């Protein structure tokens, strides 16, 4: 730190931070020539001397020269955190105002010196004015606003701001840089297995290891639940960045003890380079994210550089899978309900719960679009239990008339039926919600039963003995249809929509549906039809002896807040809730 005379009480106290002595001298000389305001300039180099000086001396503005190199980001970050009331001006923003061109022989024109002094002083004063325009923050406000509370890292918003600043410097000085996206592999499974507290501890360990693996001046942030981002400045060679990425992976892979278990943490890293892979913050983040998903598709635990020809479909599929893992945690799942009617009694008698996903993009996605991916990821058990518990709770909470009873049908997956605790989970959902056993129908499909009929049978029989009703869905499509109806005492058999579609126009469809209705009578169970879309289909089903049905002819799936009103409406109004429905 350079010793300086004490400033007069009216001088603006400036601390210059930078490595370039000649630039600092010219700036000090320029400010000294300012025609209206007196400036006192002190000079410092590096992080710790700067912080030490600020703790001991009053200062009106910090003048940070980007020529300090990689340490500029760290000085800026620490100064903002520890001295939030201190205005900071970057010489990137000042356009090197005090270091204009020299004249012949190196001499500087006096008029040019005065103009530059005026400009530099004005810009320093403007930095002070901008900073003081808002309310004076408390010492911890800035830190809390820019930090992730769990890890203490930069948060998403602060990282984006830092990335924009880094890009501005790189453009100005023609420097290369890189954005890294680090996503933990199989973190959701660890979180579910060990619990949220252990998951939080893993994230804190990851944060500390990432800080240790990167240079002090390279910002790193927690960008999402288990996703981290970093900026690597002055990144000139792919091989150098490969070394950095591998160092991150190696650091994370060192076993760690969490709740008495030794765990190794694997991650996938995507890398996008400025300017070859993008020149804007969003573009670089998006491309690094795509590269990260490509790394996952290659076997996880590796890094990958962005390639413009990378298969976007693979990246989109992996992005879908990653988002699905977090859907439950982010409260993105929801339920819609499709009414089931008894046309002979002109009455809504039940509803089927249908899972939906409100994705990050904002749209509501139907189950058919994401359940195959959920099954591949092993999420069907978790999503199935979420559906069961929430459907029981929502239907039990409906304020219906005392003489009304609305049955609830819930589909279950193969992973749920193979779970030894499945029966207990159903009982728990009923007990917690208060829904009577007689109002719950568990639906299983031919396909699900075909995977393990013996194991499924014992659980379904036990549930039926407790009062829960059992329904066979999509009868006639799977390989286990006749085997399953012979061995399991179903209460209802649902006729698949593929047979319903031909009713009214195809005699063969009528023959098949009639045969299924006859089979149901012989087995002592009730037939039901799904996918009823036209009036002639409903009339044909009634003639064939099937009065229980559901489909767009009566109602599209609706949210629970619409369901209560729909059930209370007279049948003629309730079943005409969409433009394609008809009155009965």
Contact 94, 111 (CB under 8 A): no
CATH 3.30.70.270 fits 147-322, yes or no: yes
- CA distances, 30 to each of 58, 118, 188, 569 (Å): 22, 8, 58, 82
Which residues, other chains included, contact 521 with Cβ-Cβ below 8 Å and sequence gap of 6+? 545
Distance of CA 465 to the CA centre of its chain: 42
CATH class of 333-574: alpha beta
- In angstroms, the CA 476 to CA 446 distance is 8
Domain ranges of the chain: 12-142, 147-322, 333-574
Global pTM value: 0.54
Alpha-carbon distance of 121 to 35, in angstroms, equals 9
Q: Which fold has domain 12-142?
A: Rossmann fold (3.40.50)
Neighbours of 539 (CB within 10 A): 15
Residue-wise burial string across 329-364, b where 16 or more C-beta atoms lie within 10 A, e elsewhere? eeebbebbbbbbbbbeeeebbbbbbbbbbebeeeee
Which tokens belong to 361?
Answer: 């993009």
> Along the 584 residues of the chain, how does pLDDT read in single tens digits?
554 444 445 678 888 888 877 777 877 877 777 666 788 889 888 888 888 888 888 888 888 876 555 567 778 878 887 787 788 877 653 343 333 333 433 444 444 444 455 556 666 776 666 555 544 444 455 456 788 999 989 999 889 988 988 898 888 888 899 999 999 987 877 776 778 888 889 999 999 999 999 987 789 999 988 999 999 988 766 678 889 999 999 999 888 888 777 888 889 999 999 999 899 999 999 899 888 888 887 777 899 999 876 656 666 676 777 778 778 777 889 999 999 999 998 889 999 999 999 876 667 888 888 888 888 777 888 899 999 999 999 999 987 665 567 899 999 988 898 889 999 999 999 999 999 999 999 999 877 887 677 888 999 999 999 999 999 998 877 655 677 888 899 999 999 898 999 898 889 999 999 999 999 999 999 999 999 999 999 999 999 999 999 999 999 999 998 988 887 766 554 444 444 444 33
User: Is the preceding peptide bond at 351 cis, omega within 30 degrees of 0?
Assistant: no
Same fold, 12-142 and 147-322: no
């Amino acid at each position: 730190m350079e010793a300086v005379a004490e400033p007069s009480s009216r001088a603006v106290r400036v601390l210059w931070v930078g490595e370039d002595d000649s630039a600092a001298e010219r700036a000090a000389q320029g400010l000294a020539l300012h025609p209206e305001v007196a400036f006192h300039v002190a000079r410092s180099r590096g992080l710790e001397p700067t912080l030490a000086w600020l703790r001991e001396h009053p200062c009106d503005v910090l003048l940070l020269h980007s020529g300090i190199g990689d340490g500029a980001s760290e000085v800026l970050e620490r100064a903002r955190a520890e001295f939030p009331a201190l205005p900071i001006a970057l010489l990137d923003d000042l356009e090197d105002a005090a270091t204009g061109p020299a004249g012949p022989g190196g001499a500087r024109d006096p008029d040019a010196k005065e103009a530059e002094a005026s400009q530099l002083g004005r810009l320093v004063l403007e930095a002070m004015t901008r900073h003081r325009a808002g309310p004076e923050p408390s010492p911890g406000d800035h830190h809390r606003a820019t930090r992730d509370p769990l890890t203490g890292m930069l948060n998403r918003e602060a990282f984006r701001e830092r990335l924009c600043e880094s890009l501005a410097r790189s453009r100005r000085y023609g420097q290369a840089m890189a954005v890294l996206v680090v996503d933990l592999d199989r973190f959701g499974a660890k979180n579910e297995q060990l619990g949220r507290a252990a998951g939080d501890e893993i994230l804190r360990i990851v944060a500390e290891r990432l800080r240790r693996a990167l240079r002090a001046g390279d910002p790193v942030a927690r960008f999402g639940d288990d996703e981290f981002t970093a900026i690597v400045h002055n990144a000139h060679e792919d091989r150098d960045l490969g070394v950095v990425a591998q160092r991150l992976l190696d650091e994370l892979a060192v076993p760690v003890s969490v709740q008495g278990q030794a765990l190794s943490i694997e991650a996938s890293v995507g890398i996008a380079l400025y300017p070859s892979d993008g020149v804007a913050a969003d573009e670089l983040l998006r491309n690094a994210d795509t590269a990260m998903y490509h790394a996952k598709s290659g076997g996880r635990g590796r890094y990958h550089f962005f390639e413009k020809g990378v298969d976007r479909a693979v990246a989109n599929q992996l992005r879908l899978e990653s988002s699905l893992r977090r859907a439950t945690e982010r409260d993105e799942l929801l339920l819609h309900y499709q009414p089931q009617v008894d046309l002979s009694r002109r009455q809504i008698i039940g509803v089927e719960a249908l899972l939906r996903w409100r994705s990050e993009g904002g749209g509501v996605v139907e189950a058919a679009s994401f359940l195959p991916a959920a099954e591949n990821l092993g999420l069907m058990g978790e999503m199935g239990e979420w559906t069961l518990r929430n459907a029981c709770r929502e239907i039990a909470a409906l304020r219906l008339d005392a003489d009304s009873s609305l049955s609830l049908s819930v589909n279950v997956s193969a992973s749920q039926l193979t779970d030894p605790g499945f029966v207990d989970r159903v009982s728990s959902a009923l007990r917690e919600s208060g829904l009577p056993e007689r109002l719950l129908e568990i639906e299983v499909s031919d396909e699900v039963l075909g995977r393990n009929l013996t194991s499924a049978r014992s659980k379904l029989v036990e549930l039926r003995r407790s009062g829960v009703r059992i329904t066979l869905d999509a009868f006639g499509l799977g390989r286990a249809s006749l085997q399953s109806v012979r061995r399991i005492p179903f209460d209802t058999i649902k006729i698949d929509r593929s047979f319903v579609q031909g009713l009214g126009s195809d005699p063969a469809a009528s023959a098949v549906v009639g045969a299924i209705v006859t089979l149901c009578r012989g087995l002592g169970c009730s037939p039901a039809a799904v996918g009823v879309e036209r009036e002639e289909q409903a009339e044909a089903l009634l003639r064939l002896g099937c009065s229980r049905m559901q489909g767009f002819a009566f109602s599209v799936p609706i949210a629970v807040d619409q369901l209560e009103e729909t059930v209370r409406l007279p049948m003629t109004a309730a079943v005409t809730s969409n433009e394609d429905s008809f009155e009965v």
